[in-house]
Structure 1
């Protein structure tokens, strides 16, 4: 069993309301005097995923339009769309959300790329397309459709706590080196302690809701067969997650209901207790977060674990 340990988390949110367009000249200070953040570009239309391809290109997914583009880090400019993901139904949080490259993607010949997106008021989807290695996408196709957790009775509506991010990671039920596709799902938008609580889909593993799931996209499961594919449950709304490059442990961000935002480490089979538990708890059935922000809420979104060589050593694998 993997030991639980804390990590330094870089959480970010790309906000559409930024007005200044073009290449940025300003710098953003941090709480580390040796580290500053340099904005690269401000006119990305509501980006929800920034993903490097195996050959080092940076792909950007736009939430509302579904456009996939590449960002040239030298010219600091966006390409014409590689492909347009459709349909995309955009809401408060709904839209095109996650993008992941197939482990067999070839840097020269290209390969499959996967996208998570909301396609209707009652359906979430993972699609894939082919990318030729030169910025041209084709053959958009459906991999698997999922029903909205609370298509009618949700406290909010179909525009929040939907399908979230996707990443490839180690198979938790096999010792082989094969990778499977992980996907995080929100709870559909229940009201904590309210009328939806008795039907909270995050408390059971038999639906694709309120947790993190995994499957082989080359052999998609039956949609009614969610339980064998549940990695962890009891999650309100995990926008993003990442795997530690050394241990393989999974970490995810969790948005609380106006309080108790979290960062969690998840092991296979863990239960995080939403909405019976928020933040640190005394119930041994539920796993405590490794970081909690009670108030004010910070709504963490993206998460990554740094394994490069440009930052000081203290950031390595954190």
Structure 2
């Protein structure tokens, strides 16, 4: 067989595989999609356990006194972590864990006077708040976020403007992400009291951005630029720079798109190399991104360049990363979430310097 015929045969085979993987979107991914899946490995100066013996920890936030609050998705417990020990603070009995739902994100108000939790209830996903010294006296401040067995979103965080930002998932309803009247597949911006924040791009709506599949991480750099990590479907996971009112394309686009109506990600990964979850901006000014299926921690510049992989395959699935008050980075493992392979001592909080 001539070299020309061999080359044609290979091209035809690739086209057939691309078609099987999803038609035009897969074809674009095979040939032109920028991806940082081949990021080189790097090593932190040190890695140590903060606490061990957790079960599917999901959210992490620090109080002004330096202690941390951690949520466990399936037990619905909130734990306080101080001096390398964890103790139960409360159980969010209103949460109904199932699939990817349960007790998810946690955030502390900038003044430290309120703690917010995102959880899956009987009929929806919702947000409640409580005083740090009264964890059993919770008040729901926002509700009606669509729930399902997966794609529940769940990350919450306060932005530099003092407003509460909420990452939601499409809850299995793909079209909801493009429907600005739905709370699914969005990033929401709320006042601390749970009302749509003033200055939102769509009037009295809580929607800040839309066209998302399942937002899992939220973070801001020192300039105030906002970033979000997002699960793709079969081809590309995304790291997005978030602008108010922008449409990030799901379900019409996964990864980059040539459609000017959609805002493209600043970086993408093959889903086997990422499945990104929590985000943080570290003291080095870089974005740190914890990955579940990819079992690694990426650091990446805020323009999407210079990605490096840490902890590749060393601690299993990684759910979240947060900057601690002492300048270290804390990482939650997620090997008891039903998809991991727990090792002795799992799940744990790791401290990286």
Q: Taking structure 2 as the reference length, what is the TM-score of the superposition?
A: 0.64
Residues 226-253 of structure 1, C-alpha deviations (whole Å, 9 max, x = no match)? 9632111100001111111x21111111
| Aligned-pair CA distance for 1:70 | 1.2
1:104 is paired with a residue whose SS is coil
Contact 1:307/1:317 (<8 A) preserved: no
Question: Using the alignment, how far apart are the partners of 1:247 and 1:119 within structure 2?
Answer: 36
Higher relative contact order (CA 8 A, sep 6+): 2
- Residues 201-220 of structure 1: matches in 2 within 5 Å? 201-218=176-193, 220=195
Q: How far did residue 218 of structure 1 move?
A: 2.0
CA distance in 1, matches of 2:69, 2:256: 37
Shift, 1:299, TM fit: 0.7
Instruction: Write out the 4+ residue segments of structure 1 that deviate beyond 4 Å after TM superposition.
Output: 315-318
Check whether the contact 1:308–1:316 (CA below 8 A) recurs between aligned residues: no
CA distance in 1, matches of 2:203, 2:98: 26
Structure 1: which 5+ residue stretches go unaligned?
Answer: 1-7, 9-29, 106-110, 150-157, 172-178, 191-196, 310-314
Name 1:278's counterpart in structure 2. Answer: 254
Looking at structure 2, the residues matched to 44 and 71 of structure 1 have their Cα atoms a distance apart, in angstroms, of 11
Counterpart of 1:175 in structure 2 is none
What 5-or-longer segments of structure 2 have no aligned partner? 1-35, 286-298, 303-353
Pairwise CA distance, 1:258: 2.3
User: Are 1:180 and 2:157 matched, yes or no?
Assistant: no
Counterpart CA distance in 1 for 2:70 and 2:248 is 31
Distance in 2 between residues matched to 1:265 and 1:96, nearest whole Å? 26
Shift, 1:103, TM fit: 2.0
Answer yes or no: is the 8 Å Cα contact 2:117–2:128 preserved in 1.
yes
1:230 to 203, 207, 223: 207
What RMSD in Å do the two structures reach over aligned CA positions?
2.6
The number of residue pairs the alignment matches comes to: 247
Matches within 5 A, 1:18-33: 31-33=41-43
Counterpart of 1:45?
Answer: 55
| SS of residue paired to 1:202 | helix
* Structure showing the higher helix proportion among its residues: 2
Structure 1 length as normaliser, TM-score?
0.71
For residues 116-142 of structure 1, the C-alpha deviation after alignment (integer angstroms, 9 at most, x for no partner) is 00011x31110011113xxx6241121
Judging changes above 3 Å, is the alpha-carbon distance between structure 1 residues 38 and 288 closer, same or farther for their aligned structure 2 residues? same
